[in-house]
Amino acid sequence: MMKNRHWWILLSACLTACHQPDDKERVLSFAGRDASCPFITTTTDGKIAVSWIETEGGTDTGLIYYAVSEDKGRSFSAALPVPESRGVLPHAENMPKMVFKPDGEIIAMYGVEQNDARNKYAGRVFYTRSLDNGKTWLPAQPLVTDTGSYDQRYFDMALLSSGEAAAIWLDNRKETENEGSTLYFAVTDGHNGFRQERPVAQTVCQCCRTDLYTDDKGAVHIAFRDIINDSIRDMVHTVSTDGGASFTPLKRISADNWIVRGCPHTGPAMVKNSEGLHFAWFTMGGGQGVFYCRSLDNGVTYTHKEQVSTMPMAKHPQITVVGNEQVMMVWDEPVKAGKTFNSRIGFQVRKGTGEVLKTGTLTADSLYVTFPVIKGVDKHTALIAYTKRTGESEQVCYRLFE
């Protein structure tokens, strides 16, 4: 009995040690500049790359920078600019994205203000490309050239199994009078940029980020907040098994039945491991905060949702797989600090089958940190990047979770 007790204590200590945040916070952005909107991706040869925005000269717009790690996130190269992105508008739900294609092309996509009289919140999406590993960049070009489109926002990019890059975005063009935007899909054609755009869904919530994901079988998944029956704003999922040529009918990942006449500004996140698809999202329908569910049959059915965060206003979840199995989520949540509120990063680690292993916080209650992003970097480690406010300025920071 005593031997078994010692074994259990040792196992518990190992589980705790294997799921601890690295307290060493590192700063990626330049000192003296406002920085925000981090995004994590991988290069063609599997290195971790983080991009972000830095504003210039006290203006509201800025430039994209990125840095690459040779040691799985323990250190990063000097920040590299994407000079053709000048004028990018910082918006953490509409953060810039980068994709490194197998043919050597790098694509950086970002949003700018449109200043259109038909919609004061309208934006446009541009992208710029490098064909020489970031040494030079081609002039930025609009994602959409149709003059009927005056508002494109909340885009995402992902690599397809073909080696081409796909993009989705919300667009004002639609064939219905019902509220909402149309979700469009396009794919690159070699080094000729994005081509053959087409609509996938209409009546999409106009103000929440979308999520595009390619799984290990080559299936293309899309998740977003839909407007159902003109009033319900719930998360839906669709999948393509033919490289985006066709998609399955939309299915709600959870019947939250959240009725809201407004803009939640918090979209879904998804990832897949050998046990199936895993989803995280924010809702105020049937509970309030960040929730989780999974699908064991590639989106045919979904498990009943489980609340992830104990704070009711936890938002902006992101999700990744660590190694080949464990699932980890991060989000931001308000926390009372004296007479005001700060913001901290929460996390949860689950087994590959969905059972909770550990829930906690990554940052102190005395800080103001928001919009975390996360990516598994090896069998035991995840990299988390986020925006931290200090006084009147912001910087992009990161830490490891091992």
Q: From 295, 282, 284, select the one nearest 251 (Cα to Cα).
A: 295
Q: How far apart are CA 188 and CA 191, in angstroms?
A: 7
Whole-number pLDDT of residue 23: 66
Write down the pLDDT at residue 17: 37
- Domain map (residue ranges) of the chain: 308-401
| Cβ neighbours of residue 267 closer than 8 Å, sequence gap 6 or more | 93, 154, 208, 209, 210, 211, 223, 224, 225, 281
E strand or H helix at 47: none
- Contact status, residue 149 vs residue 143, Cβ threshold 8 Å: no
Which tens digits make up the pLDDT trace of 214-235? 999 999 999 999 999 989 999 9
pLDDT along the chain (402 residues), means of 10: 37 40 84 94 97 87 97 96 96 97 97 88 95 97 96 98 98 94 98 97 96 97 96 97 97 97 93 97 96 97 96 96 94 93 97 97 96 96 97 94 92
Could you tell me whether strands 315-322 and 326-337 are parallel, antiparallel, or unpaired per DSSP bridges?
antiparallel
- Give pLDDT tens digits for 22-69: 569 999 999 889 999 999 999 999 999 999 999 977 788 999 999 999
- Give kind and range of the element (H or E) at residue 330: strand 326-337
